[in-house]
């Protein structure tokens, strides 16, 4: 947990938001007694996800990836053929 005065929060707002995004709670205080007045937390911690291919700079997408889907499968993408979904 991090605490910051209102002045510190104004000065370092971006840094405090980054801490909140990582899951840390930031308490904003006010006055000489540094009374807690606000809490800065992420709505949902940011999770940076990447596709597996982006981790390996030598990854090559195979030719099969670019081939059209079989008609049965492409029909499912268009909502055809499987009455269970609607």
Q: Encode pLDDT of 55-75 as tens digits.
A: 677 777 789 888 999 998 888
Q: What residue segments make up the domains of the chain, in order of their start?
A: 2-40
Give the N- to C-terminal CA distance of the chain in Å, as an integer: 48
- Token digits of residue 35: 């009374």
Residue 2 has pLDDT above 60, yes or no: yes
Q: pTM, whole model, 2 decimals?
A: 0.52
What per-residue confidence (pLDDT) applies to 36?
97
What per-residue confidence (pLDDT) applies to 79?
86
Contact indicator for 37, 28 with CB cutoff of 8 Å: yes
The model's pLDDT over 6-40, given as tens digits with 9 standing for 90+, comes to 999 999 999 999 999 888 999 999 999 999 999 99
């Amino acid at each position: 947990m991090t605490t910051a005065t209102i002045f510190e929060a104004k000065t370092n707002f971006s840094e405090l938001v980054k801490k909140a995004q990582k899951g840390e709670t930031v308490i904003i205080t006010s006055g000489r007694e540094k009374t807690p007045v606000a809490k800065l937390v992420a709505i949902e911690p940011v999770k940076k996800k990447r596709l597996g291919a982006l981790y390996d700079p030598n990854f090559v997408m195979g030719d099969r990836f670019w081939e059209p889907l079989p008609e049965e499968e492409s029909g499912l993408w268009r909502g055809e053929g499987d009455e269970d979904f609607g």
